[in-house]
């Protein structure tokens, strides 16, 4: 419906609809095989510790920073990963997406340069652009960003922050090498650029043979915000995430939390804190990784059969996605989407992951956590046939 006199904030003009959410709506159709979203596999989620959420006191308002037990459990959890923080540096979030929203509100004015990986997470682009960021991207290799390009962008663009996903990057799958982590930390310190390190896939590590030290822990001078999520390992519908930050940033972030939603829901914090302290955690994560390894391997085999002649990719070492580049430059993957959806297969065209869509025209992202091996076989055969049909017409 059109409201001719409706007055909205100027930034609303920059509010793009997320292609992911539009495609996810299409995937609700019965019989659809979806490689599109980043939904974790429901059968691999641990049992919900409902008993931990039963205390009626949890149904009262709580404090903005989060439950003390949750903050302490998260501080210990990220300490195990290599980032030593006190629980005062932890803020409970309604999903790590909320941390991206806060980072944008904290840092971005119209025209503020923000340095990202190219490609990068689509919903980070969405919120950074909403607040008016001028996004510049450093090309990403499988072991980290192109360091020369990264430094050149720091030098010439003077970004206010860098947004990086060093563990099993979404969508590119990169896992930064130890040397890349050290080099990026040194560069950020040298140029004193704030780091937003986003880590929802850290625990979905399948075959990595090197340490994945958080880059935030290597910084000596530059301020930082570290984002974590329980969506990919526990129950995404509970919207449980957190941030940890340099102490100087915490008062601002807590006020942003207050102004957004007062506090994160308390039963979810209790459930996560319980799980983090439970004896089943290690076994739950092992089961999850084994389940994902089987699916990843099944997808790799099906891709070799159906995409071996038309695309290039590297098998992801963790995370939830394959990132493919079509050979030649004849076809934009976006042009295949409608045909594929008609044929009952959903995927994410690469253009969604770049501030300049044309940079992603040859790429596509495929999620491997949801489909069965039989659906992978059928869905990838159908998708490859759609691509070949478009190529013949092109
Ligand atoms: C890189 C990245 N950051 C953040 C998120 C948001 O996760 P959450 O469910 O914790 O809000 C996602 C979800 O797919 C993601 O891929």
Which pLDDT tens digit goes with each residue over 20-42? 777 878 888 889 999 998 889 99
CATH numeric code, 11-45+283-393: 3.90.1150.10
Which residue's entry shows tokens 């302290």? 277
pLDDT higher than threshold 90 for residue 193: yes
CATH numeric code, 61-277: 3.40.640.10
Which residue's entry shows tokens 């939904």? 39
Q: What is the pLDDT of residue 2?
A: 77
Q: What is the pLDDT of residue 26?
A: 84
> What is the mean predicted confidence (pLDDT) over 255-274?
98
Burial, 30: exposed, middle or buried (Cβ in 10 Å; 0-12, 13-18, 19+)? exposed
- 3-state SS assignment for residue 149: helix
End-to-end CA distance of the chain: 38
CB neighbour burial string for 72-109, b if at least 16 within 10 angstroms, e if fewer: bbbbebbeebebebebebbbbbbbbbbbbbbbbbbbbe
23: which DSSP letter?
H
Name the pLDDT band for 392 (thresholds 50, 70, 90): confident
Could you write out the DSSP letters of every residue in 221-268? SS-EEEEEESTTTS-GGG--EEEEE-GGGHHHHHHHHHHHHSS--HHH
The residue whose CA has the least distance to atom 6 of ligand 1 is: 97
Q: What is the pLDDT of residue 372?
A: 93
Q: Are 358 and 207 in contact (CB under 8 A)?
A: no
> In which element (H, E) is residue 93 found?
strand 90-93
Average pLDDT score, the chain = 95
Ligand 1: which of 18, 38, 91, 97 to mutate, judged by most atoms within 8 Å of the beta carbon? 97
Name the pLDDT band for 248 (thresholds 50, 70, 90): very high
Ligand 1: which of 170, 228, 233 to mutate, judged by most atoms within 8 Å of the beta carbon? 170
Q: What is the pLDDT of residue 15?
A: 87
Lining residues, ligand 1, CB within 6 Å: 38, 95-97, 121, 165, 170, 198, 200, 229, 231, 236, 241
State phi, psi for 208 to the nearest 5 degrees.
-120, 130
Query: Counting atoms of ligand 1 from 1, which one is nearest the CA of 236?
Result: 9
Torsion of CA 7, 123, 240, 252, to 10 degrees: -60
> What is the mean predicted confidence (pLDDT) over 364-386?
96
Edge to edge, the sheet with strand 194-198 lists: 90-93, 241-245, 224-229, 194-198, 161-164, 113-118, 134-141, 144-145
- Distance CA(238)–CA(242), nearest Å, equals 13
Q: What is the pLDDT of residue 18?
A: 67
47 versus 63: which is more confidently predicted? 63
pLDDT higher than threshold 70 for residue 256: yes
pLDDT higher than threshold 70 for residue 148: yes
**Angle 223-225-226 from CA coordinates, rounded to 5°:** 135
Which pLDDT tens digit goes with each residue over 116-128? 999 999 999 999 9
How far CA 249 is from CA of 104, 106, 107, 305, 393, in Å, comes to 13, 9, 11, 50, 54
The domain limits of the chain are 11-45+283-393, 61-277
pLDDT higher than threshold 80 for residue 101: yes
Q: What is the pLDDT of residue 210?
A: 96
- Distance CA(238)–CA(46), nearest Å, equals 13
Q: What is the pLDDT of residue 4?
A: 84
Burial, 252: exposed, middle or buried (Cβ in 10 Å; 0-12, 13-18, 19+)? middle
């Amino acid at each position: 419906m059109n409201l001719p006199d409706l007055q909205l904030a100027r930034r609303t003009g920059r509010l793009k609809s997320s292609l992911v959410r539009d495609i996810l709506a299409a995937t609700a159709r019965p019989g659809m095989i979806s490689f599109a979203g980043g939904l974790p596999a429901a059968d691999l989620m641990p049992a919900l510790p409902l008993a931990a959420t039963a205390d009626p006191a949890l149904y009262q308002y709580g404090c903005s920073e989060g439950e003390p037990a949750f903050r302490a459990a998260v501080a210990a959890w990220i300490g195990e990963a290599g980032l030593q923080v006190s629980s005062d540096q932890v803020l409970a979030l309604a999903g790590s997406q909320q941390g991206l929203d806060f980072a944008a509100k904290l840092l971005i004015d119209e025209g503020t340069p923000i340095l990202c990986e190219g490609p990068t997470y689509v919903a980070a682009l969405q919120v950074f652009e909403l607040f008016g960021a001028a996004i510049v991207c450093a090309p990403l290799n499988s072991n980290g960003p192109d360091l020369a390009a990264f430094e050149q962008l720091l030098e010439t663009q003077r970004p206010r922050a860098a947004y990086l996903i060093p563990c099993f990057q979404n969508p590119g799958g990169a896992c930064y090498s130890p040397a890349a982590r050290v080099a990026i930390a040194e560069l950020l310190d040298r140029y004193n650029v704030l780091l937003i390190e986003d880590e929802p896939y850290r625990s979905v590590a399948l075959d990595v043979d090197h340490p994945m030290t958080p880059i935030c822990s290597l910084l000596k001078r530059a301020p930082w915000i570290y984002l974590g999520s329980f969506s990919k390992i526990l129950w995404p519908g509970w919207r449980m995430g957190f941030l940890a930050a340099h102490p100087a940033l915490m008062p601002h972030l807590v006020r942003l939390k207050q102004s957004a939603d007062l506090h994160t829901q308390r039963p979810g914090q209790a459930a996560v804190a319980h799980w983090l302290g439970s004896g089943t955690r290690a076994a739950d994560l092992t089961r999850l990784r084994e389940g994902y390894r089987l699916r990843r391997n099944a997808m790799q085999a099906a891709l070799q059969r159906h995409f071996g002649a038309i695309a290039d990719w590297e098998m992801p070492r963790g995370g939830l996605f394959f990132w493919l580049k079509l050979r030649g430059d004849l076809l934009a993957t976006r042009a295949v989407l409608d045909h594929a959806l008609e044929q009952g297969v959903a995927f994410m065209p690469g253009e969604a992951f770049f501030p300049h869509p044309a940079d992603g025209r040859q790429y596509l992202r495929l999620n491997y956590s949801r489909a069965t091996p039989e659906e992978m076989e059928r869905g990838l055969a159908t998708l490859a046939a759609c691509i070949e049909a478009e190529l013949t017409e092109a």
